[in-house]
Amino acid sequence: MTTDISGITGYYTNGTNSTNSSSQQLSADMNTFLQLLTTQLKYQDPMDPMDTAEFTNQLVQYSSVEQAIQTNEKLDTMMSLSIANLGAQAVSYIGKTVQVLGDVMPLEGGKAKATYTLDKDVLSTTIVVKDMNGKIVYTQSGEKMSGTHEFNWDGKDSNGNQLEDGAYQISVSTTVASGDTAASVTTTIFGKVTGVASDQNNIYVGLGDAVTAQLGDIVTIRNDDYFDKTPGTGNEGTEDGDNSGGEETTSPEEETQSYFSL
C-alpha cells in the first residue's frame, strides 16, 4: 500500500511563492516610486511646490498594500498548517471504510455499496449501474418511500455474470404522479481508503484501486470490517418494496457500528 503525500508540500510551496512574488514586486514598485518622488522634490518649482497631501496619500496607499500582503502571508501560513492537519487526518483514514457523496462506486472483491436518498415518496424507482464506458450492466427496482435506502451489489450483471472489480457508476431515476414535481435524489458510495494524494486544489483519498474522492466529500468514517458485516447481494428491493433477499432496508446511520462525522 502506497501513500502519496508529497503533493501536499508542493501545494504549500506554490501558495507561498505567489505571495513572495507579490511582496518582491511591491518592494520594487515602492523603490521606483520613492526615486520618482525624490526627483520631483529635487526639481520642483519653489514658487509652485508639490501638493504634499497628494504624495502623502500615495505613500499611505503603498503602506496599505504592503500590510495587506503581509496579512496574506500570515493567512497562507495558517492555511498551510490547516491543510497539513487535513493531510495527516486523511492518512489516518487508510484502511477505513468511508461514505462519500458521489455516484462512482468501487467494486472490490465482488462487493459494492451505495445509498440513495429520496426527498419524497414516488411511484417507482429504478437503479442503474453502468461501467465507466457508459454501458448499462445492471438494473433493478428500488424503494419508493422517502428517506435513505441502501443498495448492496454483488458485482454481477443482469445476466448473472460476475464483473471485474473496478469503478462503476450508479444512477437512480424516479417517476412521480402526473403534475407532481420531480423527486430529488442524492447518492453516496462506500469504499475502503487505500491511499492519499493531493494536487494544488484538493486532498484526495483513493477508494480501492479505481476510484478517487475529495476529502471534503467524505460524510462518515466506519470500521474497516464494515463490508464484512454487510450482505453483498444486489437484490435490495422489488417493485413492491419487498426485500427479496430477506434484508431489512435501514438508513446508513442505523447500521453504522462506529463512525465519525466530519
Residue 15 — very low, low, confident or very high, per pLDDT cuts 50/70/90?
A: very low
Q: What residues have CB less than 8 Å from 21, skipping those under 6 apart? A: none
Q: What whole-number distance in Å separates Cα of residue 141 and Cα of residue 256?
A: 24
**Arithmetic mean of pLDDT over the chain:** 74
Q: What is the pLDDT of residues 47-75, one digit of tens each?
A: 666 666 766 776 677 677 667 767 777 76
Q: Are the CB atoms for 96 and 193 separated by under 8 Å?
A: yes
CATH topology of domain 97-261: Immunoglobulin-like (2.60.40)
Q: Give this prediction's pTM.
A: 0.60
Return the ∠ at Cα 185 (arms to 180 and 190), rounded to 5°: 165
